[in-house]
Amino acid sequence: MSARNHFSLILLSQVLAASGAAQSVVPDSAPTIGHAKPELVDRVIANQKKNEEALDLYERIERLETSKNPNSPVPTAVKISRVVPNGTGMDRIPMGPDGHPADPVAYRAELEGLEKALALIVEGRSQRGAVEKYAKRRKDRNDLIDATRNAFLYTFVANEQRGDRTLSKYQMSPNPAFKPMSRFTSIFPKVHGNVWIDEDAAELARIEGDVTEDISIGLFLGKIYRGSHFMQERYQIAPGLWLPSFTQYDFDGRKLFSGFSIHERTFYSNYRYIGPPKEALEVIRKELRRADLGKTGGTTTDP
């Protein structure tokens, strides 16, 4: 697994409030949430798992900006993609700077490839192993989100306004009673940060954290250094559904004998429900038919 994917795992597994194995905790490791009621954590975690599952049903546009250092005023590179769930992960289809296809021929080829992948799943041909592997990754992700219930102590800090909503800020610190039982949950004691929760909705609105100790990666052949930082913002994109709008990684480390420095900002927009593979397949096929009719000057009643 790449260094970037390992740090992505840190973010996802922190999301309470964003893959691995099941864990165990000692009986007295219940979280502390200042003067708030402990069931708030349970509600946030339940909603977070629902939101993560929704990512498999919604397509979106991603704008990935890469920089040489966190203070660069202009990104070194920008990549815009249409991200579509394909039943075993995500298809990332390159887009132009304006969010539209830069190369219509290449764009159509990408859609045709996506159509074939979805058809294999819907028709039950040759994708069973990939589907099962993806289902296991989803379960592992949910296990890690569940682990945050006991891996951290949540202490109320203050109320803050974001637009017309009031967010409750909580300090997130490692729970000394938590006993990690996998190399992924062993990351938790090395991360401190804050979470902002919309208590009325019991939803995570923002998370920000720092690595406080070096984290070994790749069977101890590399490290993510202390001082690395991450954050994520989430907004309600539909009633009862909160999905990421912005993610930032700033971290340094080494792999084997070479150092690396990764500074990325990702903006998420244009969420659109596309559904599970059967529904998504019809959406993509309609899009291809509309493109064909557009070339011939025909008309279609497809929505």
Query: Of 271, 283, 272, 288, whose CA–CA distance to 122 is shortest?
Result: 283
**CA–CA distances in Å: residue 60 to residues 51, 52, 236:** 14, 14, 14
- Indicate the helix (H) or strand (E) that contains 230: strand 229-238
pLDDT for the residue 200: 94
Task: List residues bridging with 67 in a β-sheet.
Answer: 263
Spans in the chain with pLDDT lower than 50: 1-36, 299-301, 303
Structure tokens belonging to residue 247: 């993610």
Mean pLDDT of the chain: 82
Give me the long-range contacts of 226-229 (CB less than 8 A, separation at least 24). Answer: 226/190, 227/252, 228/7, 228/252, 228/253, 229/70
pLDDT for the residue 219: 56
Residue 278 CA to residue 120 CA, distance in Å, equals 10
Give domain limits for the chain.
Answer: 3-296
DSSP assigned state of 225: P
pLDDT for the residue 297: 57
SS (H, E, C) 145-169: HHHHHHHEEEEEEEEEEECCEEEEE
Residue 18, C-beta contacts closer than 8 angstroms, at least 6 positions apart: 11, 12, 48, 52, 145, 204, 207, 232, 244
- Indicate the helix (H) or strand (E) that contains 294: helix 277-296
Residue 225 CA to residue 212 CA, distance in Å, equals 8
Residue 261 CA to residue 284 CA, distance in Å, equals 38
Predicted TM-score of the model (pTM): 0.83
pLDDT for the residue 99: 82
Residue 7, C-beta contacts closer than 8 angstroms, at least 6 positions apart: 224, 228, 230, 249, 251, 262
| Count of Cβ atoms closer than 10 Å to residue 288 Cβ | 15
Residue 101 burial (C-beta neighbours within 10 Å; 0-12, 13-18, 19+): middle
Sign of the Cα torsion 48, 52, 57, 62 reads positive
| Count of Cβ atoms closer than 10 Å to residue 170 Cβ | 27
> Residue type at 172?
M
pLDDT for the residue 19: 26
